[in-house]
Amino acid sequence: MDAARKSTAKPPFGIFVGGIFFRTLFIVTLAVLTARVATPQVETLWSVFETPGDLIRVALGFALVMWCVVNLFILPKDNEAYQTWFYMGLALLPLSLLCAFVVW
């Protein structure tokens, strides 16, 4: 009975908003980092076809960025996920922003 009541209970508003905020910032940071790392080594995008390694890196990077963008709009269905994203976001977001700063 307690488990059924817990699954239908909504998280507090602050945890809900914080979870969405940290999740969104983390996914956007991941997408930006991926786009930065997946850019071709040379100046123009059309020269990516000259080197197979660049072509593979750009294709995989594009696929990962698209996956991140799609997942931005799919909110968690589990109420505990918002609490998890809230607490993980407190630790992961500064690290991911630091990584983005170093890579840039």
Give pLDDT tens digits for 25-44. 999 999 999 988 888 776 67
Helix 52-72 × helix 13-37 angle, to 10°: 170
How many structural domains compose the chain?
1
- Does residue 61 sit within a domain? yes
pTM across the whole model:
0.80
- Does residue 97 sit within a domain? yes
Q: Is 83 helix (H, G, I), strand (E, B) or coil?
A: helix
CA 8, CA 78: separation in Å to the nearest integer? 9
Q: How confident is the model over 89-96, as a mean pLDDT?
A: 87
List Cβ neighbours of 26 (8 Å cut-off, separation of 6 or more). Answer: 85, 89, 92, 93, 96
- Does residue 69 sit within a domain? yes
For 44-59, how does the pLDDT look when each residue is reduced to its tens digit (9 = 90+)?
A: 767 777 777 888 888 8
Q: For residue 73, what are the domain limits? A: 28-103
